[in-house]
């Protein structure tokens, strides 16, 4: 079974933000330029989310601010710079949940500039939880900003897809971004966004837009965002399973997350999970070899590449 790496952040009931930029084996080693760029991007992401918390904002606003920046950065697989389908297109998914149980998600969107804002619009402005490819009329009604498909597609992702399709034994490369937060009022929230996996069939949906699969939040327990082998995270209901272990089995977040990742590994999957509890230290854990992540609390800001 692959080794699970766990790092903790924060303490008590102080405001806390943890983000991830995707987990998985990297097809090629990062160059120093890649490393420096990723650290800089994560710093921008964390600063955006944590500034909301420092100014007394809500956990929901903080995770949206952080994930928007993750979607805007081409370093990560979400929004601008998302992985491409076998047809060379970008199909984007996102979800959000607050600690009171409100949630929203979108899947298969191709023109939403920041998919997390589409997910929040579903949560705040509709009576539903999940929309598949909402129409331009719906997006306009919700005030969601759109962009042409070319905005999401980068040259780096085009080359990645070409190399994948030429390789004799390609390994699927996946990645997802997400954020979890606890605000000064003790409320928690989680948001997750992705472009899926390289060369996925058009129409494929992973765990990201499924509440309980890739995202979950409960003010009494934890906020969770996942990244990894989506099909396994779906069938393990990974995000909700972390919550259930904390809530029903009385496990601490680190133990609960480790147990869920072990179960995913037993099923042939891998990935990472970030967690912020209602009270106490938050964690970033992964069994995939690599994961981008970072945090911000009263003790400072950190990034890991």
Q: What is the SS3 assignment for 250?
A: coil
Residues in the chain: 305
Across the beta sheet with 130-132, what order do the strands follow?
130-132, 103-109, 92-98, 188-194, 177-182, 16-23, 291-297, 300-304
Is residue 44 annotated as a catalytic residue, yes or no? no
Look at the alpha carbons of 243, 101, 134, 275 in this order and tell me if their dihedral is positive or negative.
negative
CA 101 to chain centre: 18
Q: Are 67 and 46 in contact (CB under 8 A)?
A: no
Pairwise CA distance, residues 176 & 174, whole Å = 7
How big is the CA angle at 292 (ends 272 and 50), to the nearest 5 degrees? Answer: 100
Pairwise CA distance, residues 149 & 69, whole Å = 19
| Pairing label, strands 177-182, 16-23 | antiparallel
Pairwise CA distance, residues 252 & 272, whole Å = 17
Rounding to the nearest 10 degrees, give the CA dihedral for residues 10, 11, 12, 13: 10
The dihedral region occupied by 180, where left means phi > 0, alpha psi between -120 and 50, and beta the remainder, is beta
The Cβ-side half-sphere exposure at 190, using a 13 Å CA radius, reads: 34
Catalytic: which of 176, 192, 194, 215? 176
| Pairing label, strands 103-109, 130-132 | parallel
| Enzyme catalytic residues | 176
């Amino acid at each position: 079974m692959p080794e699970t790496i766990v790092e903790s952040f924060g303490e008590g009931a102080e405001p806390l933000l943890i983000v991830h930029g995707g987990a998985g084996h990297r097809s090629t080693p990062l160059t120093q330029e890649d490393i420096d760029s990723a650290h800089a991007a994560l710093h921008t992401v964390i600063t955006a989310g944590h500034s909301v918390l420092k100014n007394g904002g809500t956990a929901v606003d903080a995770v949206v601010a952080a994930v928007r920046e993750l979607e805007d950065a081409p370093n990560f697989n979400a929004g601008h710079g998302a992985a491409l389908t076998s047809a060379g297109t970008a199909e984007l998914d996102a979800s959000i949940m607050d600690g009171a149980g409100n949630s929203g998600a979108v899947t298969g969107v191709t023109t939403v500039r920041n998919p997390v804002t589409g997910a929040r619009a579903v949560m705040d402005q509709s009576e539903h939880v999940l929309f598949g490819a909402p129409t331009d009329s719906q997006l306009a009604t919700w005030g969601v900003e759109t962009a042409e498909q070319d905005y999401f597609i980068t040259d780096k992702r085009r080359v990645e897809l070409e190399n994948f399709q030429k390789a004799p034994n390609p390994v699927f490369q996946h990645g997802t971004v997400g954020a979890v937060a606890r605000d000064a009022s003790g409320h928690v929230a989680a948001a997750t966004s992705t472009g899926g996996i390289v060369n996925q069939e058009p129409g494929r949906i992973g765990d990201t837009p499924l509440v309980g699969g890739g995202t979950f939040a409960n003010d009494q327990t934890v906020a969770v965002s996942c990244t990894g082998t989506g099909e396994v995270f779906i069938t393990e209901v990974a995000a909700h399973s972390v919550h259930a272990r904390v809530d029903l089995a009385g496990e601490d977040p680190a133990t609960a997350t480790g147990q869920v990742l072990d179960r995913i590994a037993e099923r042939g999957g891998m990935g990472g999970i970030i967690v912020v509890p209602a009270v106490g230290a938050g964690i970033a854990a992964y069994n995939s070899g690599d994961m981008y992540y970072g945090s911000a609390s009263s003790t400072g800001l950190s990034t890991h590449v």
